[in-house]
Structure 1
Amino acid sequence: MNIAIMGFGVVGTGVAKVTEVNAKEIEKRLGFPVYVKTIVDVRTFEGQFADRVVADFAIVENDPEISLVVETIGGVGVAYAFTKRALAAGKHVVTANKQLVAEHGSELLALAKENGVQYLFEASVGGGIPILHPLVQCMGANQIEEVCGILNGTTNYILTSMVSDGVSFEDALAAAKAKGYAEADPTADVEGIDAGRKICILSNLSYGYQTRPEVVPMEGITKITLDDVRIAHDAGYAIKLVGRTVRLEDGDRTAYVAPHLVPHSHPLAHVEDVNNAVVVRGNATGDVMFYGKGAGEMPTASACVSDAMEALAGYGTQPTWSEETGGFQDPKVLKTQYYFRIDGSLSDAAQAFHQVSVLQEGAQTAFLTEEISGYEAEEGAKALNVLAQMRVLGASK
């Protein structure tokens, strides 16, 4: 069968490579060959795939021999428009575009259903880590209580470097850019936006309702200093940027992204460099963890091609969720311990939060609170000169 690729950047190139290099294995598994017939990109290229590149998407849209389109353009502009046109033309669409899925997923899933095709996006959350299919299929008999994880390789690399090499956030970010782990504009990564889009998708699939990115608080790692890293390590914690979505006792849900102190006894504490990991808690299975490379040309391309194979073969379950938003509550309702580093004394800390566990005393005081809600943390912080604030993972309910 013939497929097309929209956008011939890093991931799009990887899709073409995987399809060509593993052609025999793919044909063996499907019973028919898969061939990249057309690539849509406004740029010109040289090399193996140059003769397949066209600038006009209408060529793909109107080609009855193309059954599936892999969208690797990114963003919600052209990618959104072309995806709708492809689905309306009766072509399956596979994507790694987490922004598009997070913001327009329910609409595109409905359009796919209307036209008798599939819209698949395994690569949008974990790159090469299979997480969406296991969540929907393998854990389908569970009520999902919580999903949390390290969902961005760039920030995890930066935090790992701050711990292992003792370098500042700024120097670790510069190294990430030099190695190609961070974009020229790393805002979406370091401010928690990328992880936020991914936790929205995980929340949608876990609870069946649309979780819109604009209602999900997203906090990044730009305020974390080497002082925080050292204090956390000495107290038995690693600092990780974690995305969480939680089923609340009344059946509502919440979600957010923020840096956390993760106990060294927790498996997420040992996920390092550019690796990602997702922990899913089911009411029957307990905790199940998925770990591996969350980004990169070939891992992400692998997930895209696997989705393409599933759609072309006509097997598997189409992930879906309601366009309704359901009951979503502010994550401040969750109770957990909080870490604070303040420009002040222990008496200042105790006056604001009553019982605290001291991690550092001096001109700057670092401490942990008892389990409190986000509202209580916010109220207590008003009287303090707060230099850093983080949640503690594993102490939440």
Structure 2
Amino acid sequence: MSNKLTIGMFGFGVVGQGLYDIIKTKNLNLEIKKFVIKNADKKRSLPAELFSTDAEAILDDPEINTVVELIDDAEAAYRLTVRALKSGKNVVSANKKMIAGHLEELVDIQHEYGTSLLYEGAVCGSIPIIRNLEEYYDNELLHSVSGIFNGSSNYILSKVFNENQLYADALKKAQELGFAETDPTLDVGGYDPKFKVCIVASHAYGIYVKPDDVFNIGIDKLGQQDIRFAKEKNFKIKLIPTAKEIDGNKVVLYVLPRLVGKESILYNVENENNGVLVKAAFADEQFFYGKGAGGHPTGSAVLSDIAALRYGYRYEYKKHLESSALNYSQDYLIKVYLRYTDDQLIEKLNFSEITERYYAADFKYVIGHINLQQIAAHKADLDREGNFIAEIA
């Protein structure tokens, strides 16, 4: 028999509203007692007495046994989550930045206080990748976990490649649809998928990696020359986070645009959809596909976590008990396409091998092999206007 959950929810934005819409259609053993929001003057679709601007209305209420955290401010979310867990309340969160930045501490708090923090909604929208890594792959040696983790950037790239839209126009449309924020840097700059791949790596490999230690390069410097090059070679460009085990004792994490060919299952993942590709030693290659942006897809993942709490579910973090042999590394060679303007950049990057050079009136590019350490060391140079780098898988 399930336990009744009395819920206090922080935030009532796109995901919060989507979650509430889904809950209304279900006969679940739960009650949302209070919403804490930032703006008391904003018109809401629910009775005013359900809302408060005071966090204590949830944190100090002994009847509330479950906190759902759906706010944008990562540091505020962290403080609320820690207080809730330490006061005996279980927490469901969709804040990937908060979780990725504080995961090791949050795991320790759960163990110390006997509470549970679930966060399926923080990674890849409606795709249950965390639960699968925890349960299905808990005893499996994983070679890699990669894919399309950000629906906003994928929507933009789909419009650029399939409908010949300009990048700026596709971005504007994504913002109008609510897939991208007014400041889209987290999405198109590759920060959002970086937070997600750090969380994924913890469950896939049992290691804690701080987001600041992982480099990310996004699609914000994508130019018409890069699009033309990709189309001529029958590629599409996708923004791909990668977690990969190498040499039996190291794990590499990075986020880069990738030139993806038709033979890749990721080639046809379009619009706001996400796709997660898991390569395992025994289960071989498996693929998860689903909506990655929007209130209802993420709301469904949050609801799945809430429903699991009714039966006392918690992450076991099994791989952390056996991960002593694995260490985070950036020492890994990849093949890349690099468009550039300044020849000195090529010298700085110290390519292991350059297999192709191209010079034209409007742009130059090279194709070659380079160590991830070099890309990380010169990220500021690569992020400058006139440069664009993409992995060639």
Query: Normalised by the size of structure 1, how large is the TM-score?
Result: 0.86
Structure 2 SS opposite 1:129: coil
Q: Which residue of 2 aligns with 1:313?
A: 311
Structure 1 SS opposite 2:155: helix
Distance in 2 of aligned mates of 1:225 and 1:97:
31
Structure 2 SS opposite 1:337: strand
Question: Residue 14 and residue 252 in structure 1: after superposition, are their counterparts in 2 closer, same or farther (change >3 A)?
Answer: same
**Residue 39, structure 1, aligned to residue 16, structure 2:** no
- With 37-46 and 269-278 compared, the bigger mean Cα shift is at 37-46
Q: Which residue of 1 aligns with 2:367?
A: 368
Question: Residue 49 and residue 125 in structure 1: after superposition, are their counterparts in 2 closer, same or farther (change >3 A)?
Answer: farther
Contact 1:177 1:184 (C-alpha < 8 Å) held by counterparts: yes
Q: Which residue of 2 aligns with 1:101?
A: 99
**Structure 1 residue corresponding to 2:79, chosen from 78, 81, 95:** 81
Structure 1 SS opposite 2:170: helix
Shift of 1:366: 4.4
Shift of 1:268: 0.8
Contact 1:338 1:377 (C-alpha < 8 Å) held by counterparts: no
Q: Which residue of 1 aligns with 2:22?
A: 18
- With 272-281 and 177-186 compared, the bigger mean Cα shift is at 177-186
Percent of residue pairs identical: 31
Contact 1:208 1:321 (C-alpha < 8 Å) held by counterparts: yes
Deviations 1:262-287 (A, max 9, x none): 11210111111111111111111111
Contact 2:353 2:370 (C-alpha < 8 Å) held by counterparts: no
Q: Which residue of 2 aligns with 1:391?
A: 391
Aligned length: 375
Contact 2:352 2:371 (C-alpha < 8 Å) held by counterparts: no
**Structure 2 residue corresponding to 1:7, chosen from 4, 11, 18:** 11
Question: Residue 50 and residue 378 in structure 1: after superposition, are their counterparts in 2 closer, same or farther (change >3 A)?
Answer: closer
Within a 5 Å distance, the mapping from 1:329-340 to structure 2 comes to 329-330=329-330, 333-340=331-338
Structure 2 SS opposite 1:163: helix
Deviations 1:329-352 (A, max 9, x none): 12xx3223221335699xx99xx8
Q: Which residue of 1 aligns with 2:138?
A: 140
Q: Which residue of 2 aligns with 1:327?
A: 327
Q: Which residue of 2 aligns with 1:176?
A: 174
Question: Residue 391 and residue 232 in structure 1: after superposition, are their counterparts in 2 closer, same or farther (change >3 A)?
Answer: same
Shift of 1:254: 1.3
Residue type matched to 2:31 in 1?
Y
Q: Could you list the runs of 5+ residues in structure 2 that have no partner in the other structure?
A: none
Deviations 1:165-217 (A, max 9, x none): 22332222122222222111111111111111011111111111111000100
Distance in 1 of aligned mates of 2:10 and 2:328:
35
Structure 1 SS opposite 2:123: helix
Within a 5 Å distance, the mapping from 1:286-305 to structure 2 comes to 286-305=284-303
Question: Residue 340 and residue 386 in structure 1: after superposition, are their counterparts in 2 closer, same or farther (change >3 A)?
Answer: farther
Shift of 1:386: 7.6
Deviations 1:35-81 (A, max 9, x none): 11111113334333432112222222222221111000133222111
Structure 2 SS opposite 1:77: helix
CA-atom RMSD, angstroms?
Answer: 2.9
Distance in 1 of aligned mates of 2:374 and 2:48:
59
Distance in 2 of aligned mates of 1:233 and 1:300:
32
Deviations 1:127-146 (A, max 9, x none): 11111000111112211111
Q: Which residue of 1 aligns with 2:154?
A: 156
Question: Residue 357 and residue 48 in structure 1: after superposition, are their counterparts in 2 closer, same or farther (change >3 A)?
Answer: same
Structure 1 SS opposite 2:328: coil
Contact 1:19 1:35 (C-alpha < 8 Å) held by counterparts: no
**Structure 1 residue corresponding to 2:118, chosen from 117, 120, 137:** 120
Residue type matched to 1:42 in 2?
K
Q: Which residue of 2 aligns with 1:71?
A: 69
